[in-house]
Chain A
């Protein structure tokens, strides 16, 4: 059971938009910055969004992040088949003094 809760899967058609939620608590999302990672099958995870909404160089502006209270959301517009991957949210937890991840969400582009 992950500390952060994500939907197991989402799907949408090419060109459409999708959002992935990440729910936590006051000790993690409520008090720290959230990051999002993309993991394409068979490869290492890659940082997609840091500090709730900042895109590192190389992350297309089709990807966006937001945070409100104890929840965060990853948005992806203009879906492409290459976006098919597992997406994870991650954040520091002040109570545990460890990092924590969501269980991951598998995106299928139909």
Chain B
């Protein structure tokens, strides 16, 4: 069965960095776009970034552009999100999801807290 397992979340100070990972299994990894989606405490879903199958295309929400970088390793079936210059408003649970327009499988999420 399809599995997406995020890791790498934690507590970080404002201005700090964190790298999230998402390990995928149970499907042909190279067939799918992948997306990061986040959810701040008590708030709704926010689309963060996507990457195409061979990493040719990426895009970011304006709120993270220039600070976050999405990447994937097709040999390792893994997705990453490098987050720099973190702000308090980046505090959220971060989900990796399969797809670009529609997300048919989601990980369980990894929490990120940005606080001094």
Residues of A within 8 A of B (CB): 2, 32-33, 35, 37, 39, 44-47, 50-51, 56, 86, 88, 90-92, 97-104
Contact = CB atoms under 8 A, between A and B. Distances in A.
Nearest to A47: B104
B44 A46 contact: no
Given A88-B45, A98-B47, A45 B104 contact: no
Interface string B100-112: 1111111111000
Nearest to B106: A44
A101 B45 contact: yes
Which of B50, B95, B100, B101: most chain A CB closer than 10 A?
A: B101
Contacts of A91: 101
Contacts of A39: 45
A47 B103 contact: yes
Nearest to B95: A44
B45 A90 contact: yes
A44 B37 CA distance: 11
Interface residues on B, range: 20 to 34
Interface string B33-56: 001010000001111001000000
Contact of B47 (A51, A56, A101): A101
A99 B95 contact: no
11 contacts: A44-B95, A44-B107, A47-B105, A50-B104, A86-B44, A90-B45, A92-B101, A98-B60, A99-B100, A100-B47, A101-B46
Contacts of A103: 44
Contacts of B11: none
Which of B45, B61, B108: most chain A CB closer than 10 A?
A: B45
A45 B106 CA distance: 7
